[in-house]
Amino acid sequence: MKVSNKIKIELDKKFKNENLVKRILRTSLLLFYRVVFKKFTYGHELRLGIPLWLSKGSVKLGDYCYIGPRANVVSELVVGDMVLISSDFRVIGNDHGFNSIGEPMRISESDSKNIITYIENDVWVGEGVTLKQGVRIGRGAIVGVKSFVNKDVPPYAIVAGIPAKIIRYRFTAEEIKAHEDIIYSDLLK
């Protein structure tokens, strides 16, 4: 689900005043990632920390996202709009096989292919968070600092810990409806 035009206009105003040198550097960096990592796509006004390590699979980032420095993604990742991902973020798992007789794990290919990790719209991922490949972080969720997420996170949940557990929800059901009516208003008509 995409964000409303009203929210996009507000965000565009915020980013319009960016320093020209910063804009040129950011644009150059994004072009570099698109050339080096053929399956790297991104939406409008992406902010990206460096370095960023990408290996297997494709990475698709939505509009108005921020990814902090030292992110490391070893599998396919789809990120929605208006997502904040702090520094030292990881998506890991299933990158080595371990059940091939006569083949060391170091060089063995994993049996699981094309497992996609999803981070939906309006999510905040804290510093040092690790996601197990294939999980889905629901819309509006918050993942606490240094957490390890090995299961799907429901929309608007606040999770933390190793493994991550639900601490509480950001909003009540009525507040979620009000929040979504504003953010996604153009689409709900």
Q: Which residues are tagged catalytic?
A: 96
Sheet of strand 90-92, all strands in order from the earlier edge strand to the far edge: 52-54, 71-73, 90-92, 130-132, 148-149
Q: Is 80 exposed, middle or buried (0-12, 13-18, 19+ CB in 10 A)?
A: buried
Which segments of 37-172 does DSSP mark as H helices, in order? none
Residue 186: both structure tokens together: 């153009």
Give CA–CA dist 122/47, Å, rounded: 15
